[in-house]
C-alpha cells in the first residue's frame, strides 16, 4: 500500500489530527528526531483518546519517551523489535513463522488494501503493524483487519510485556479499543504462546525481511 496515499510516514507534528490508530503507528515506528520534536502534539492526541485504558497506555509510554534520551530509545527499539524473535511487528509472524500458512494469511491484508482502493507497497510486508494501523486510521476495513488478528495482537502484547519494554503499553492501548478475546481466541493464544513462532519450512523462502531471523536486518525500521 502506498504510504503516501495511506498517510504511513511519521509526521508527529500533525498531532492535532492524529487519531488513536495513527498515534500507535507513529509510536511503533523507528524513533526519529521528528518524533521527539512533536511530543507535545502526541501528548494532546493521547489525551483525547478513548477508552481510558487506551489513553492511559499511551500516556505511560509518552512519559517514558520524554524521560529517555533519544539515543537510548533508538537502541531499545532495535533491541526489542530487531533482535527479539517473539516481538516481531508483523501480525502473522507469531502464529505462522516463516511457513506457507503465513503467506496465505498475508493475502488477506493485500486483498483488504486493494478493496479499499490502495495498492500494497513493495517496501514493506502487508502485515507490518504500523502499516495496518495507518490503514485502520483511514477506513473501517483496517479496523476489521485488527479485529480479525486480535489474537496476534495479544501475542505481541504478551511478548512485549514479558520483555519488560514500555512498547507493551502502545500495543495494549490498541488492544483496549478492540473487543476482548473470546474463549476460542484465548485458547489459540495459549497454544501459540507456549510453542512460539513455527520454524521455517524446508525449501521455503522466508517471509520475514532479509536478515531478520539472524538479527542483522532492520525490517522493523523499513
pLDDT digits (tens, 9 = 90+) for 167-202: 999 999 999 999 999 888 888 888 888 887 877 554
> Phi, psi at residue 122, to the nearest 5°?
-90, -5
Instruction: Name 90's bridge partners.
Output: 128
Instruction: Name 112's bridge partners.
Output: none
The mean pLDDT of the chain is 83
Whether pTM > 0.85 for this model: the answer is: no
Q: Is the pLDDT of residue 8 over 90?
A: no
Residue 122 and residue 10 in contact, taking contact as beta carbons nearer than 8 Å: no
Give residue 200's pLDDT. 59
Residue position matching grid coordinates 500507535: 24
Give residue 201's pLDDT. 54
Q: Is the pLDDT of residue 64 over 90?
A: yes
Residue 175 and residue 204 in contact, taking contact as beta carbons nearer than 8 Å: no
Give residue 121's pLDDT. 76
Give residue 218's pLDDT. 40
Q: Is the pLDDT of residue 215 over 70?
A: no
From residue 51, how far is each of 55, 58, 73 by CA, in Å? 6, 11, 27
- What band does 40 get if pLDDT is binned at 50, 70 and 90? very high
Q: Nine-digit cell at 75?
A: 537502541
Kindly report the number of other CB atoms within 10 A of residue 9's CB atom. 13
Amino acid at each position: 500500500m502506498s504510504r503516501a496515499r495511506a498517510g504511513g510516514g511519521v509526521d508527529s507534528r500533525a498531532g492535532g489530527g492524529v487519531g488513536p490508530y495513527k498515534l500507535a503507528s507513529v509510536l511503533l515506528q523507528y524513533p526519529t528526531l521528528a518524533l521527539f520534536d512533536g511530543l507535545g502534539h502526541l501528548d494532546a492526541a493521547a489525551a483525547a483518546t478513548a477508552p481510558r485504558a487506551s489513553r492511559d497506555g499511551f500516556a505511560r509510554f509518552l512519559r517514558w519517551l520524554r524521560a529517555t534520551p533519544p539515543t537510548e530509545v533508538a537502541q531499545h527499539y532495535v533491541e526489542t523489535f530487531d533482535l527479539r524473535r517473539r516481538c516481531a511487528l508483523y501480525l502473522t509472524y507469531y502464529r505462522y513463522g516463516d511457513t506457507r500458512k503465513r503467506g496465505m494469511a498475508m493475502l488477506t491484508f493485500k486483498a483488504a488494501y486493494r478493496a479499499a482502493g490502495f495498492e500494497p507497497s513493495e517496501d514493506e510486508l502487508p502485515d507490518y503493524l504500523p502499516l495496518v494501523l495507518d490503514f485502520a486510521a483511514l477506513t473501517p476495513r483496517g479496523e476489521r483487519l485488527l479485529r480479525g488478528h486480535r489474537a496476534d495482537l495479544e501475542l505481541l502484547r504478551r511478548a512485549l510485556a514479558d520483555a519488560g519494554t514500555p512498547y507493551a503499553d502502545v500495543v495494549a492501548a490498541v488492544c483496549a479499543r478492540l473487543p476482548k478475546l473470546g474463549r476460542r481466541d484465548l485458547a489459540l493464544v495459549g497454544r501459540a504462546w507456549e510453542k512460539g513462532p513455527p520454524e521455517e519450512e524446508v525449501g521455503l523462502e522466508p517471509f520475514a525481511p532479509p536478515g531478520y531471523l539472524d538479527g542483522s536486518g532492520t525490517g522493523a525500521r523499513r
